[in-house]
Structure 1
Amino acid sequence: MSCPPYLHPIPASRRVHIDPHDSRFMQDPYAAYAFLQGTAPVFFWEEYGFWCLAGYDEVNRALRDKRFGRERPGGYMASVTADADRTHLADFDALEAGSMLELEPPVHTRLRTLVNRAFVSRQVERLRPRIEQLANQLIDRFEDEAEIDLLPAFATPLPSIVIAEMLGVSTDMAGQLVEWSNRMVAMYMHAPTRATELAANAAARDFASFIRGEVERRRNGMVDDLLGLLVAARDGGDRLSDAELVSSAVLLLNAGHEATVHQIGNAVRTILTEGGDPRRFFETPEATVATVEECLRIDPPLHMFTRYAYERVELTPEAIIEPGQQIGLLLGAANNDPAAFDAPRRFLPSRPDQKNVSFGAGIHFCIGAPLARLELQVALKVLFDRLPTLRLAYEPAYRDSYHFHGLERLKVEWWVPRYQPLNRSEEEAASD
């Protein structure tokens, strides 16, 4: 694999310059991944300032390695305030500090146990009829248009409405929840601006206020929804504090749709790029599952997940990770490693080596993975069954949002039968 022009040749130190905002990298990060996997699967990414792992085996091991974890040494607040004034991020930091995504056992175990039963496969499977109904309702709204941006019309509302209904939040708020989420997750991108930080903090403040109002509505009685379950856990003793309750609810609403929106878009692009009748990928339940797994592998929505070292770790003789330092795990690269997958850039739903790490691994394996998989299986099958002539209106571009990997827009078009007026003799015969 030749070196992409935006990636400077790798010296013996394995230190690499890749501007994550370079449009060439944004549109095809896989070319860089392939070059790195052949030259330095463990490399120091100068723009981020930490070592990264690009090989499947390296990423998979690190996700399960207890020497690394999500929780910042010294605690979230001590870490983030050590080197900078973050008073303008007080509301954002308050939510992050209580998020199970940023914690390790025993607190992580306690929080995850509380919500896990709502997301296990047998519970999620009960949502299949509702997801199918919702997918059809969304398509009903635009089926006669012949052209649409599929992201706001289909990919965004479907998972956001589903997670809102699970928590018991009014679906009328789904659009607002998406807006708050988008502003908050912008903080996870490379080098956020001051304006981005202020917008994220305002979104966190308003989001938390909204959740507190929802909690108050449930104070006088048990409500049979996920948020009611969290309220009951708080009121039952010290198992869940107010801060943990709010952080958990916000995390579930954000994580419950953000990555799925991108994956629906990426999957539609992938399948339509293959050409032919898209329904051939969804002819049986088994084929549908395999197609979704291959979509998750070949073009996942999350390309980097970070970990902190809890002890000194030698990844390679050059890559010594000291306690407290971060590493980057490149999930998108791992999923396309030729050492782990035959012909990794070919879309092969029937491949026998399917083992993507799109949902992570270990104790932080995505709690919403069963729900995301079900939403993808149902949404994609319904979409292509209803609109088998669907095609890309033009080649879509990816957003400047590494490490999230999603499209800016997804304009698609399809053939719509139009009413053809009767000729004169047919009209006269009909009137008779």
Structure 2
Amino acid sequence: MAAIVQVRPITDIPPDRCTSANPRNAQFYQNPYPFYAERHADRDGFFWTDYGHWCFAGFDQVNRLFRDKRFGREILHRASRQEIGLPEPKAHTRDFDKAELHSLLNLEPPDHTRLRTLVNRAFVSRQVERLRPRIAELAHELIDGFETHREVDLISAFAAPLPAIVIAELIGVPRDMAPQLLEWSNRMVRMYMFGVSEETERDANAAAIAFIGYLKSLMADRRRAPQEDLLSHMLANAGTEQTLSDDEIVSTAILLLNAGHEATVHTTGNGVKAILESGLSPARLFADQAQTAATVEECLRFDAPLHMFTRYALENMELDHGIVLQKGDVIGLLLGAANRDPKRFTAPDAFDPFRENNQNVSFGAGIHFCIGAPLARIELQEAMRVLFERLPALSLSEAPEYADVFHFHGLKRLMVAW
């Protein structure tokens, strides 16, 4: 899940189209929204000098480019490394790269279509809706574990374990492995950081080695004794037109386990923070299922869990407003900025769960629209509803801080009291 990066130096950009903001600067990643507001005032598209590629912040731009088939998440099916100057893989990230090789997040058709078709049936709305009672049950169970403490870090005690347990159970990983999955996942997603160090790369690779080894041992168990879970389902297709290789199954399982909880963790934390800071009555925000769903959508829009999604240009082209791209160039789609576009939303910087139009791009669009979005929405609805029902006097007990991982926008911790 590492971010793709621009290789070819792009020069001769008009100065008024360039801007700089260091993604590792705490002042920026704690609150990138003033930067986004300035970009909305620019002409369409801007050149982010720190990344060395063009970025897009408008809602319509981002939504359209997500669906533009001239862009993709992989490039080597269209060009050689030599042609676009892409360096050879690093030896010390070999296992991390192996885990990513067949990831749905990175594949393009026809491989993407084949894998997504097989996995999608487990995540369609009518299937995941059946999990709603189980998710509510888990929320109550987690709150039972800390309710008497009167203060807790809501990220580690509630937001992180709930989706990890849900996706683990869905795939077929024992519940008691959820903390270990979180630890491996957290180490791997640090590869999304801007300016990743070799130490981080090696640590992510070590996490990938352990993750792959565990999944392969679990796959061997499922071959001997299949169960009613997604891992058994993927293995059961051996010898059919939808056969998946072991490496494809491993990549798919790791993606689902990593991405299957990451967005939910961050949206839960960011959303609770937004609700508590808004002063709005939780009783109104979760008055019924329709309002609960609307509140969750506003949480997703207001403070998105993923702020940048990068894609390759699959051919030479010229976009609107004089932006010229060569095959292999990277563009950045700024989801967090698109969700605050004043051309799309009235009072975009206001947290308003009662707004009539709160459609957002937090789960992407096009063929890479998040496969787990229906499950994530139900997790968020039930987790937040139960949380504020059980702890109506919830309040912040210290100022929240975001983690230094710009692409994944989430809190380091969320200390609350009641």
- TM-score, normalising length from structure 2? 0.93
Q: Tell me the equivalent position of 2:207.
A: 203
Q: Deviations over 1:342-362 (max 9, x none)?
A: 000111112122220000000
Q: Detail structure 1 runs of 4+ shifted over 6 Å in the superposition.
A: none
Give yes or no for the alignment of 1:185 onto 2:193: no
Aligned residue-pair number: 405
Give yes or no for the alignment of 1:59 onto 2:71: no
Percent identity, aligned pairs only, is 56
Q: Tell me the equivalent position of 2:6.
A: none
Give yes or no for the alignment of 1:176 onto 2:184: no
Instruction: After TM superposition, list the pairs within 5 Å mapping 1:31-430 onto structure 2.
Output: 31-74=34-77, 78=81, 82-84=86-88, 86-236=90-240, 239-414=243-418
Q: Tell me the equivalent position of 2:5.
A: none
Give 1 or 2 for the bigger CA radius of gyration.
Answer: 1
Which residue identity is paired with 1:38?
Answer: A
Say which SS state the counterpart of residue 307 (structure 1) adopts. strand
Which residue identity is paired with 1:44?
Answer: F
> In 2, Cα distance between the equivalents of 1:218 and 1:399?
37
Unaligned runs of 5+ in 2: 1-12
More deviation, 218-227/59-68: 218-227
Go from structure 1 to structure 2 and tell me whether the alpha carbon gap of 1:218 and 1:333 turns closer, same or farther (over 3 Å shift).
same
> In 1, Cα distance between the equivalents of 2:355 and 2:79?
41
> In 2, Cα distance between the equivalents of 1:33 and 1:82?
30
Shift of 1:44: 0.9
Q: Tell me the equivalent position of 2:9.
A: none
Shift of 1:162: 0.3
> In 2, Cα distance between the equivalents of 1:383 and 1:234?
42
Whether contact under 8 Å (2:187, 2:203) holds in the other structure is: yes
Say which SS state the counterpart of residue 217 (structure 2) adopts. helix
Whether contact under 8 Å (1:13, 1:318) holds in the other structure is: no
Backbone CA RMSD of aligned residues: 1.8
Q: Deviations over 1:60-80 (max 9, x none)?
A: 100011111112234799589
Whether contact under 8 Å (2:155, 2:414) holds in the other structure is: yes
Shift of 1:283: 0.4
Where relative contact order (Cα < 8 A, 6+ residues apart) is larger, the structure is 2
Whether contact under 8 Å (1:260, 1:376) holds in the other structure is: yes
Shift of 1:98: 1.2
Say which SS state the counterpart of residue 118 (structure 1) adopts. coil
Whether contact under 8 Å (1:302, 1:358) holds in the other structure is: yes
> In 2, Cα distance between the equivalents of 1:222 and 1:401?
38
- TM-score, normalising length from structure 1? 0.90
Whether contact under 8 Å (1:110, 1:239) holds in the other structure is: no
Q: Deviations over 1:174-230 (max 9, x none)?
A: 011011111111111111101100000001111011000010001134321011011
Unaligned runs of 5+ in 1: 1-9, 415-432
